[in-house]
Amino acid sequence: MATIHNSDFMTDPRFQSAYAAGMSTGSWAGCDPQWGAYIACWAAESVLRLDGDFVECGVNRGGLARTILGFVDLPSSGKKFYLFDTFEGLVQRYLTPEEEKNGITAGGFEPCYDEVVRTFSQFGNTVVLVKGAVPDTLAASAPEKVAYLSIDMNCVNPEIAAAEFFWPRMVRGAIMLLDDYGWARHAAQKQGFDRFAQERGVLILSLPTGQGLIMKL
């Protein structure tokens, strides 16, 4: 992404340190998504004083969550960060025929659960890892109140299921961050979330990073 606008957050020592920690997980396969990571940090900072925990559905190696934990002092807030993932890629039964035609296939990621455990071990019980497919794992493990929700599972069915599950648990002012909203390959997710937002009378902020953002008012 190119811009003529100010982007001095990239030289902010606080963000640089947090982003380096996220990059160290090896999550982004040679990509450098600084602006998207900053959006996530902004969202986390914005809701830190709200009631409710943090949730990420779609974690892989934990780069985004690790960046956030380097940017905001979540342990001091008393909040927990719930990380839901198979930690080994997409699940066949949740893919649509359209997504498969677009080259989105089951698996696609190397098993990484043990690495993720090591990455977040320093945060003690602040981080809760939940291994398994979403939405299957939500009812038994999800927090009752949510201030921050990140959704990045690369396919529409589990993403909409997660959004519908968590929406009643999101407190006023909570933020839902959609990682794949603006990507052409993930058009089914955009269409699904456009319907989701319309049904609830909210607008999705489309960002040039490809992300989408919803605030619960």
91 phi/psi in degrees, rounded to 5:
-105, 130
What pLDDT, on a 0 to 100 scale, did the predictor assign at position 2?
81
Q: Does residue 3 fall inside a structural domain?
A: no
What pLDDT, on a 0 to 100 scale, did the predictor assign at position 44?
98
What is the rounded CA–CA span in Å between residue 37 and residue 7? 13
Q: Which residues contact 173 (CB under 8 A, 6 or more apart)?
A: 47, 50, 147, 215, 216, 217
Relative to beta strand 205-206, strand 212-215 is: antiparallel
Per-residue pLDDT of the chain (217 residues; tens, 9 = 90+): 688 989 999 999 999 999 999 999 999 988 899 999 999 999 999 999 999 999 999 999 999 999 999 999 999 999 999 999 999 999 998 988 888 888 788 888 899 999 999 999 999 999 999 999 999 999 999 999 999 999 999 999 999 999 999 999 999 999 999 999 999 888 999 999 999 999 999 999 999 999 999 999 9
Q: Which residues contact 78 (CB under 8 A, 6 or more apart)?
A: none
Q: For residue 66, which amino acid is it? A: R
Q: Does residue 130 fall inside a structural domain?
A: yes
Which CATH number does the domain housing residue 169 bear?
A: 3.40.50.150
Instruction: Give me the number of domains the chain comprises.
Output: 1
Relative to beta strand 170-178, strand 89-90 is: unpaired
Q: Which residues contact 75 (CB under 8 A, 6 or more apart)?
A: 123, 124, 126
Q: Does residue 21 fall inside a structural domain?
A: no
What is the rounded CA–CA span in Å between residue 199 and residue 164? 11
Instruction: Count other C-beta atoms under 10 Å from residue 210's C-beta.
Output: 19
Measure CA 52 to chain center.
16
What is the rounded CA–CA span in Å between residue 80 and residue 97? 36
What pLDDT, on a 0 to 100 scale, did the predictor assign at position 106?
86
Residue 67: domain span: 27-215
Q: For residue 146, which amino acid is it? A: V
What pLDDT, on a 0 to 100 scale, did the predictor assign at position 98?
84
Long-range contacts of 23-31 (CB under 8 A, 24+ apart): 23/63, 24/66, 25/61, 25/62, 25/63, 25/66, 25/115, 25/119, 26/61, 26/63, 27/60, 27/61, 27/62, 27/63, 27/64, 28/63
Q: Which residues contact 87 (CB under 8 A, 6 or more apart)?
A: 59, 60, 111, 112, 113, 116, 131
Q: Does residue 202 fall inside a structural domain?
A: yes
148 beta partners: 54, 175
What pLDDT, on a 0 to 100 scale, did the predictor assign at position 9?
92
Q: Does residue 203 fall inside a structural domain?
A: yes
What pLDDT, on a 0 to 100 scale, did the predictor assign at position 99?
84
What pLDDT, on a 0 to 100 scale, did the predictor assign at position 206?
97
